[in-house]
Structure 1
C-alpha cells in the first residue's frame, strides 16, 4: 500500500533535515533597544533554527520561578507579552522547539546554590519548572547557571547540580520536554564546576559558551571567540582560550560529542588601542571600546552595529589566519568578532568533529533587518546552509521518491510515495 506524505510527517522530517541542531538565543531585553536595534519576538526567524531559546527567567533560593521583566514577558498591564509571542513562532515553523532559559551571567550562583543544596527546594523547583512549561507552552528548559561552585556558589554545587539535572530529566520524561545546559567552556571554569560525564548523561545538549574568551578586562586586544590559539599566546591559561581547546577538554573528560553544541557569538568584543599604530592581536589596550548605538555597552558591539558602521566609516578588516577569525580597527577602536567566513569554518569544524551542532548568542545582534546584506540573519544562515548542504550530500534518495524539494520553512515531498 502507498500513501502521500502529509504535512505532519513533513514537519517531523524538518527537525532532522539540517543534520545538526541550531540553537538560537533571543535576549528579551532587545525590545528596549532604539532604532534599528529594536528586536521583538516577531523579528525572529524560527525556520533557520532547530531550537529557539528565550532568555532569561530566574529562580529564588526557595525554588520558585522569578520573572525578571514582567513588562517584557507578560501581557498584564499592557505588557509586551513576550512569552506568548515567542511561543507563537511555532505556528510559522511547527518543528522548531521553543525553549526558556533560566539564569544568565547576572544571575550568578546566589540563589541557584541554596536552591540545589536542599532536596526539598530542588523538588519544589522541578515542580515549578514543569508548571511553567505547561502554562506558557514551552518545549523545554535551558539551564544557564554561571557557574556551579563559583560566583557565590559552594563546592557541593558540583554534585547538587547533577542531582538537579537528573531530577529535571526524570520530571520531563512524560511530557517529552527538552533539557539543555549552557556551560562555562574553558578548562579553568569547567574543571571547578562540572562532573562532565554525569552532566552529559542527563541533558539532551550541552552548549559550550565558547565566547567572551577575550575582552576589555584584559590589557591586550584579543579575539572574542577564536577557533584556534594564536602564536603570541604562550601561557597555559592563554592556550585554553579557544574553541578547539574547549571542545577537546570536554570530550577528553567524558562528554558525549553528539551532545556538544559549539557556541558562536553574533557580537564582537571591543577595545581602545593604546597606540593606533599597534593594532594586531596582542597589542596593548587602554580599556573597552566605545559602546554601540543599540547595545549601548562599552567593550561590546553587535554584528549589526559593526556592519552598519562599515557603511559610513572606513574600518580596516583583517583576516587572522592563525585563529580563523576576523578583526577590525578604525583609529584607536579595535573589534574581534565573527563573520560569515569564520562561521563557515566553525560549522565545518562541527561537522568534522561530529558534534551535535551550533548555538548562537544571540539572534538580535545578527543583521536581522538585512541592512548590510541581501538576506536577513546572514550569520545564522551561514551555519544553516552549510549543515543543510552537507546533509543533502549525505542523503541517498531511494525508493519511489520522484522529487524532494527542501526550503527553510518546510519540506515538500512532490509525488512522493512511501510503501508500507
Structure 2
C-alpha cells in the first residue's frame, strides 16, 4: 500500500484505504468461497443488465449476461449465482455534483464505494449521476476527474474490476447534460448509453412518439463516434418498457396529441405519459382497440386503447422486432455490447405465452 501512496495519490485517499484494509473482511456469503473472488475474464461481447431487486434474476438468460448492475437491495444470492456464471455484479454509484467539485469529498466518496464493493465482493461500480452540467463549468471538469479517479482506485484495488458511466442517448447536451463525453469514455471501461426516454425534451409538435425511435437513436451513436470515442467504449442500452399517453386528440392518421408538460426548456416531454413495463404491455396489447401497430418511420410498435373513463390512450414501446434492428447496428459498428433498463420488466411466470415473449426479448439482444 505504501508503494501506491508514494506515487502521487491523494494522501487522504491513501489513509482511508489503509484504514479499510485494516478492517476484517466480511465473511463470504457463498457456499463455495471461490465464488467470492472477483471476475477477471473479459468477454468479447457485453450484455449489461440493470437489476432493481427481487428474484427475477433467477430467470435471466445467463448464457448472455456478462454484468449485472445491482440497483436494488444487496442480494448475496444474486452475487454468488452471477459469479458462478462468470458474470460481474457492480454497485450503483451516485453522488451530488456539489460534492464532486470538492476534491476531498470526492476522494472520500470513492473510498466509501470501494469499501462497500469489497465488503460485498462486488466487481466494480456503475456511476449513474444524470444531473445537469454546463459545458466548461467546474462540475464539467470535476465529473471527469471523478470517473478517472474512481477507475484508477478500483482497478488498483479490485482485480478485474469494471467502472462504467451512464450517459444520455445523445452527446448533444440532452437534458442539459453537457458532459465531457470523450474524456469520461477514456477514463472509464465503457459508457452505457441510455437509448431511451428520447422524448424527454420534445421541441416539435406535442404528440406521442417512440421511446427510442430507430433513426434518432442511431444518429446519436454516430455523434458519439464522431467524438473519436472507440466503439468498444459504447454499450447500447435499450428499453424494456414503454410510455402510455392520454390523447387529447387522436387523428385519422393515428397522431396522438398530448398534454404540454415542459422540461428543461422544451415545451413538451414524455412526462405527459407514464412508463409501462413490457410485461404489462403484452397483457394489454391484444385487448386494445387497435391491436399491435407498426410505425415504419420510427420503426417502433404502438397501440391504442380506451380506459374506463372513455379516454383514448396511445402506448409506444420496444419489442423484439424494434430491438433486433438496433442490435444489428451494434454488431455492424463493433460496439462493446448491449443492455437494458431493466431486467425485471419481463413476465417471468410459467405461462406459455409469457415464457415465449420473455425468451424472444432476450434473444433480440443477440448480435
Q: Give the TM-score normalised by structure 1.
A: 0.66
Q: Which blocks of at least 5 consecutive residues in structure 2 are unaligned?
A: 1-34, 262-271, 307-311
Indicate how the Cα distance of structure 1 residues 13 and 194 shifts in structure 2: closer, same or farther if over 3 A, else same. Answer: closer
What is the distance in 1 between the residues matched to 2:323 and 2:178? Answer: 28
Task: Give the counterpart of 1:345 among 297, 303, 325.
Answer: 325
Find 1:275's aligned residue among 219, 242, 249.
Answer: 249
1:54 to 54, 70, 74: 70
- Could you say which residue in structure 2 is the equivalent of 1:59? none
Alpha carbons 2:248, 2:257 under 8 Å: kept:
yes
Q: Distance in 1 between matches of 2:175 and 2:221?
A: 11
Rate the CA distance shift 1:201–1:183 in 2: closer, same or farther, 3 A: same
Q: Pick the aligned partner of 1:102 from 88, 93, 99.
A: 93
1:125 aligns with 2:109: yes
Alpha-carbon offset, residue 315 of structure 1: 4.2
The aligned residue for residue 107 of structure 1 is none
1:379–1:92 CA distance, 2 compared to 1 (3 A):
farther
**Number of equivalenced pairs:** 309
Counterpart of 1:182 in structure 2 is 166
Alignment partner of 1:207 is 2:192: yes
Gaps of 5+ in 1: 1-7, 32-38, 57-72, 74-81, 104-110, 229-241, 289-296, 388-420
Corresponding residue for residue 145 of structure 1: 129
Match of 2:315 in 1: 335
Quote how far apart the aligned CAs of 1:225 are.
0.6
CA–CA distance in structure 2, aligned partners of residues 178 and 223 of structure 1: 32
Tell me the secondary structure at the aligned position of residue 133 of structure 1.
Answer: helix
Name which of 209, 213, 232 aligns with 1:222: 209
Shift in Å, 1:357: 1.2
How far did 1:115 drift? 1.6
Structure 1 residues 370 and 276, CA gap change in structure 2 (3 angstroms): farther
Q: Which of residues 239, 249, 259 is equivalent to 2:233?
A: 259
Which of 19, 26, 31 is the aligned partner of 2:51?
26
Aligned partners of 1:366 and 1:379 also within 8 Å? no
Relative to structure 2, which stretch is displaced further, 365-374 or 128-137?
365-374
In the superposition, relative to structure 1, how do residues 207 and 131 fare at CA in structure 2: closer, same or farther (>3 Å)?
A: same
Equivalent in the alignment of 2:349: 369
Q: How far apart, CA to CA, are the structure 2 residues paired with 1:180 and 1:302?
A: 25
Matches of 1:315 and 1:85 in 2, distance apart?
43
Superimposed CA distance per residue, residues 350-401 of structure 1 (whole angstroms, 9 cap, x where no aligned partner): 11121111120001112333643444733542234x33xxxxxxxxxxxxxx
Q: TM-score by structure 2 length?
A: 0.75
- Maintained 8 Å contact 1:113/1:148: no
Corresponding residue for residue 238 of structure 1: none
